[in-house]
């Protein structure tokens, strides 16, 4: 009877360890990916649940449907990446980051939802350009459509980049183990200790009865 009780206790401890420990490790090493389109490049960052950057990992951009690779790159030491793609490829793509050891992070983005074109060919805009008579002291600043679009994009980029950084930082904080997960781990440890004490007590009682 004592042997069966010992075997059962050992089996319970092993089962709990096998079930919970890998899940805990997998949660800690979950790979998260944040990405967005800018001009003709997919920009983003990959990081683990503890906030550590996914360094030197391969990044694949796959087309929806056939899964063909339309872009390829690598993360840097900060986990950031930039992958060039065909700007006319306006469809849903999946960004896959291979963190090694079976850790894959992925995210889908709809390229058609990003409008990077700036149309400055409005007739009202052209009509407002100064005429020769309105030019003062022959000082004229001429900007073509591409230059204007470039200026607009530069201003927008300077405003949006800090927002992207804040979003990534917020996602890192949210992906870290929370209070409930920490308390769950503590409870798991105390549970194992309780089982061990129960096993020890049962083993001692068996010897005392003998």
pLDDT bin (cut points 50, 70, 90) of residue 25 is: very low
Residue closest to 49 by CA, chosen among 181, 165, 146: 181
State pLDDT tens for residues 136-185: 444 445 556 666 666 666 655 655 565 666 666 666 666 666 555 556 66
List the domain range (segments joined by +) for residue 188. 2-25+181-209
Do residue 76 and residue 44 come from a single domain? yes
Residues 18 and 80 in one domain: no
The total number of structural domains that make up the chain:
2
Instruction: Report yes or no: 188 and 16 within 8 Å, Cβ to Cβ.
Output: yes
* CA quadruple 153, 156, 162, 163: dihedral sign: negative
Q: Are residues 59 and 145 in the same domain?
A: yes
Q: Does pTM surpass 0.85?
A: no
């Amino acid at each position: 009877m004592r042997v069966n009780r010992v075997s059962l206790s050992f089996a319970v401890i092993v089962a709990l360890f096998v079930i919970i420990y890998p899940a805990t490790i997998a949660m800690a090493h979950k790979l998260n990916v944040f990405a967005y389109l800018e001009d003709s490049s997919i920009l983003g960052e990959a990081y683990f649940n503890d906030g550590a950057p996914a360094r030197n990992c391969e990044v694949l951009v796959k087309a929806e449907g056939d899964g063909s690779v339309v872009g390829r790159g690598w993360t840097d030491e900060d986990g950031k990446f930039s992958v060039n793609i065909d700007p006319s490829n306006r469809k849903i793509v999946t960004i896959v980051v291979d963190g090694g050891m079976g850790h894959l992070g992925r995210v889908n983005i709809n390229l058609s939802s990003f409008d990077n074109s700036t149309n400055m060919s409005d007739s009202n805009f052209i009509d407002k350009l100064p005429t020769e008579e309105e030019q003062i002291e022959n000082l004229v600043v001429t900007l073509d459509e591409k230059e204007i679009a470039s200026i607009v994009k530069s201003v927008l980029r300077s405003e949006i980049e800090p927002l992207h950084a804040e979003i990534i930082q917020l996602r890192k904080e949210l992906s870290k183990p929370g209070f409930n997960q920490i308390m769950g781990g503590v409870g798991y440890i105390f549970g194992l200790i309780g089982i061990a004490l129960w096993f020890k007590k049962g083993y001692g009682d068996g010897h005392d009865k003998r």
